[in-house]
Structure 1
């Protein structure tokens, strides 16, 4: 039997430069979209940009740019065209008519990755619900082939009838999945109650910043960690001890810019670990050029899921991968975050704000003892309010490495 190698799907990406995102941001966002596409298994051949104040209501990009994309797709036999923003049903239908190939938007791509990554019944149910909610308003594009049929006897309205049938089927499935999720949510809530009064710490952050690596290092666990987006979907909780002080540590799903609202809604129960945590450890990839925007994205998502005000430790990870671009001595332009040294970054706003900030490398084990000490102090503050008579727990010799 001869085995044939699986042919890798090829893709091109499309993004806009407008008042909401300048050229630098647009290129950075498409680089992230390329990482998403590679995570999904595609090979990106080209990135297309267009300057537009607002997306074209019919085709997202202008007719000239769409023709340019179409020519490239036909010449290079591209399988998929991926747009960086969510497309309306009308835009999807019009673009597919022109390009005659598979067209995805950012939301669809993220849903596909989540479906691929989901391991447990809980995660699979959440992803399935989000997929059906995304699919419902886009049913018409699945029946465009009927428009080629001529009218006449026996040919009136089959598309509409089929769409209505599909809509009912999907609405029924959405209703069943919501009931299924409610049952799972109750089970998860019971599990959380059974953990008693132990202090809860949740690792949060943008996707692929090293949360699972930190989890493995601190809790000596084997949480799946990979240099791909959304390697972790299911929340993992481990009991750990620093000195004599026990607490629970949770690794949660990573956030991302333009995270589909339906996905946030579907994953609310998974994010309960974040909502019910006593302390948040906000992990940041200091080596990423857009780490400040990533911090903002995470904070906006935390606000959206209503986590409230919680003690937060900022952990700037991957200092081993941080690159310092030194300015020329005769360059009199003001310094930016792109040409600040690591020491200057430590002394900047992130080192002086009202919450602990640490700079570590989880893979190289740099500054881990300092991290454990700060984490211990924050856990202790909460622990004392619950167990005020356990003073003996807090005597720790920090000159010795903590297990």
Structure 2
């Protein structure tokens, strides 16, 4: 049934390939069990087995060939996606990935945050194909928001493997938004299932990704329950470490927009938590480097030196610092060190 639903929802070539691979892998496992009685037939003479044995082997070879071809095509998709991620890692925008149990409201939240029109409905697995959009936070910080396939309890290993190319977007995320349907009676069990699948994918607390738990569908809660959860979220947010096991909670409703200002603020806080104030001394004629800093960092000051150069002080993270040094060859230092460097030059 899950595979039939997947087949109806897949839209892109990648989604279709992933569903086809999962379907064939499932058929192969069913084939082995359903043909067991024929494997015991030993008709014929000499080296020839019975007709049943020949048929099952032929069917296995056909399925194996189709599976190998699909895997090769998906591997090409995977390589392409890896190249795309490599390009994004050199881009200034951090990646924010939405994950969650199926029908938790990820696509509705994605549409609310981006103004996109990704399919969102009260359906299982409404999203199978990865979708990415640029989003400007209220402060002007630009991020890339990624929607992903929903999870279910006891997600078959074959499905995890087939959809790995899509789910690997989570591995490259700077911030993970775990969207939960807090109005669902099984919300805690669904949370455990999502964490289990993320663990299978290789997402762990020690990787350094920051996690926000979006307690979605607040509009469906009775007012008393909503007040309790709102108070709990505010209290826990102050002390939460922002990890998978200890995420920062935000009570929200993707449908009405409730809590999204708080969500934006938490995303920005996590993305800038590691930012430091550093300076760099640029010689005359480095207009491109100066423009890059103005576009992609928070410029605190820019002081012109006697020789026509400039000492620029900015707030930025390690990612932007590395990108700037790789592109222009100038390293950041403290303000005093940068000024001393200009004087020596």
Q: CA deviation at 1:278?
A: 0.8
Measure the CA separation in 1 of the matches of 2:79 and 2:214. 32
Bigger-Rg structure (1/2): 2
**Is 2:234–2:250's contact at 8 Å kept on the other side of the alignment?**
no
Measure the CA separation in 2 of the matches of 1:342 and 1:387. 46
Q: Does 1:251 align with 2:150?
A: no
Q: Does 1:265 align with 2:149?
A: no
User: Which of 312, 329, 349 is 2:211 aligned to?
Assistant: 312
Alignment map for 1:167-182 (pairs within 5 Å): 167-182=60-75
Question: Judging changes above 3 Å, is the alpha-carbon distance between structure 1 residues 114 and 382 closer, same or farther for their aligned structure 2 residues?
Answer: farther
2:298 alignment partner in structure 1: 391
SS, match of residue 134 in structure 1: helix
Question: Judging changes above 3 Å, is the alpha-carbon distance between structure 1 residues 134 and 386 closer, same or farther for their aligned structure 2 residues?
Answer: farther
Measure the CA separation in 1 of the matches of 2:180 and 2:19. 26
Higher mean Cα deviation, 208-217 or 315-324?
315-324
SS, match of residue 164 in structure 2: coil
Q: CA deviation at 1:161?
A: 1.7
Alignment map for 1:3-402 (pairs within 5 Å): 109-140=1-32, 157-195=50-88, 196-197=90-91, 198-242=93-137, 243-309=139-205, 310-323=209-222, 341-348=225-232, 351-352=235-236, 353-355=240-242, 356-381=248-273, 390-392=297-299
Q: CA deviation at 1:347?
A: 4.3
Q: CA deviation at 1:127?
A: 1.4
Paired residue total? 268
Q: CA deviation at 1:300?
A: 0.9
Q: CA deviation at 1:354?
A: 3.3
Question: Judging changes above 3 Å, is the alpha-carbon distance between structure 1 residues 141 and 222 closer, same or farther for their aligned structure 2 residues?
Answer: same
- 1:359-397: CA deviation from partner (whole Å, max 9, x where unpaired): 1111111122122111222222366699996224999xx
Q: CA deviation at 1:287?
A: 0.5
Bigger proportion of residues as helix: 2
Q: CA deviation at 1:323?
A: 3.6
Q: CA deviation at 1:223?
A: 1.0
Question: Judging changes above 3 Å, is the alpha-carbon distance between structure 1 residues 189 and 346 closer, same or farther for their aligned structure 2 residues?
Answer: same
SS, match of residue 221 in structure 1: coil
TM-score norm. by structure 1 comes to 0.60
**Is 1:345–1:351's contact at 8 Å kept on the other side of the alignment?**
no
Higher mean Cα deviation, 301-310 or 206-215?
301-310
Higher mean Cα deviation, 264-273 or 378-387?
378-387
**Is 2:183–2:221's contact at 8 Å kept on the other side of the alignment?**
yes
Unpaired segments ≥5 residues, structure 1: 1-108, 325-339, 396-403
Measure the CA separation in 2 of the matches of 1:217 and 1:192. 24
SS, match of residue 116 in structure 2: coil
